[in-house]
Structure 1
Amino acid sequence: MYISIERNNRGALEIEINALNKLIQNTILMRSNSDLENVKDIEVLTDLYHDNLLYVLIKISLKDFNQMLDESQINKTVEEIIVKTLSIKPKNIAVAYKK
């Protein structure tokens, strides 16, 4: 997959957010050691601010709320792929569950 990453004249990163969101979503689905049979859907929202501050929100729909996922593993996996792809560390990675 090709992700367009450029720096504007102020030095801030400009990337295609939809491609980054898909990359994070597919990384969670492929590399997570959590039980993904309980997951209905995963939605990823990212915000990249002018100071290269990256915020990631991962919304997970579960079939059964008695079985939660390993959030530390998800955070570690997402942080790793962002650092490898963009060479910046995300400011915050949040996991939210929805019905």
Structure 2
Amino acid sequence: MATIQELTDKIKTAVGDDSGLGKSLKFDLKDAGVIHIDGGSVTNEDKPADLTMTLALDDLVAMGEGKLDPTMAVMTGKLKLSDMGVAMGLQPKMGALFAKLR
């Protein structure tokens, strides 16, 4: 199982100078902490974001590995989204970001 620091480091590498998302994104990993992405900045600061995705650390890892489909995660309650409209707009860009994590 990955730690939040290992995952943060992987995301930093995948994001590089710019996430390409055009919006800020926060993964609220419940008791494990948060990962906040804004442009090229990837931190563990819990600050406001255009979209907050709430899920367990293991589920984020599974999504990054392609083992958990984000749509299925939402439908089964494993993934909660703060703004469905923003999430739909970011879906293709997030797919590209997740692909870099593999």
Q: Normalised by the shorter chain, which TM-score bucket?
A: 0.3 to 0.5
Q: TM-score of the superposition, structure 2-length normalised?
A: 0.35
* Larger strand percent: 1
**Per residue, is there more helix in 1 or in 2?**
2
